[in-house]
Amino acid sequence: KNEVEQSPQNLTAQEGEFITINCSYSVGISALHWLQQHPGGGIVSLFMLSSGKKKHGRLIATINIQEKHSSLHITASHPRDSAVYICAVRSEEYGNKLVFGAGTILRVKS
Amino acid sequence: DTEVTQTPKHLVMGMTNKKSLKCEQHMGHRAMYWYKQKAKKPPELMFVYSYEKLSINESVPSRFSPECPNSSLLNLHLHALQPEDSALYLCASSLFQTGTPGYTFGSGTRLTVV
């Protein structure tokens, strides 16, 4: 079992749809990161969360520390949102290194 | 400047070659990282430098040799690589090794070993 589980693995949406990607983890963490990677490209850090909720443009990230769960929401999705979205956690139990989920491949069709 | 710059973007090298990857940031970050990413897989940590000293080596083969000449620059020297070392090599930085307030990743070097 991976320490960081993401769902779904693949997601296809129609332009304009509301999208949710989920991330669950199994240990106490100091921070959770949502990252975006376009095909063949580098990684862009979207959010770092340790509690509550953050919003940036059409992206919203939430975290529930008690339930060890985070969600990334994309409102009014657009084809340019097509990318791999990766959840990563940082925990003393992992030597304070980032532990990555397997990623969610998102495709938004026009 | 809020970027991590990696050069070159693409590199093809033979198994007997010696080459270097370069990573640069001017954000005053004191922790810098090398990751290796194979296709359709998450990044794997290779090395961490904190205050220009090697802090973590994730049992990486000696054909990969990191170097941090100053607080802005991180190199990865490559020698006698194998075809299975072909991957995207990502550099990242953070203010401190604690990772707060977040990481900045470079766009990567796509390495092909022939």
- Per CB-CB distance under 8 Å, the chain A contacts of B99 are 30-31, 48, 90, 96, 98
Q: Decide if B43 and A100 are in contact by the 8 Å CB cutoff.
A: yes
pLDDT one-digit tens code per residue, A14-42 = 999 999 999 999 999 999 999 999 987 88
Token pair, residue B27, equals 């954000």
A6, A43, A85, A94: best to mutate for the B interface, most B CBs within 10 A: A43
CA quadruple B83, B84, B85, B91: dihedral sign: positive
pLDDT one-digit tens code per residue, B26-49 = 999 999 999 999 998 999 999 999
Instruction: Please give the single-letter amino acid code of residue B94.
Output: S
- Per CB-CB distance under 8 Å, the chain B contacts of A35 are 105
pLDDT at A1: 61
Ranges in chain A, pLDDT < 50: none
Instruction: Please give the single-letter amino acid code of residue A45.
Output: S
- Could you say which of B90, B99, B105 has the minimum Cβ distance to residue A90? B99
pLDDT one-digit tens code per residue, B80-109 = 999 999 999 999 999 988 777 789 999 999
- Per CB-CB distance under 8 Å, the chain A contacts of B92 are 43
- Rounded to a whole number, what is the distance in angstroms from the first to the last CA of chain B? 35
pLDDT at A92: 85
Token pair, residue A41, equals 């490209």
Contacts for B59-67 with beta carbons within 8 Å, 24 or more apart? B66/B34
- Could you say which of B42, B104, B106 has the minimum Cβ distance to residue A100? B42
Question: Is the model's pLDDT at B66 over the cut of 90?
Answer: yes
Average pLDDT for chain B? 94
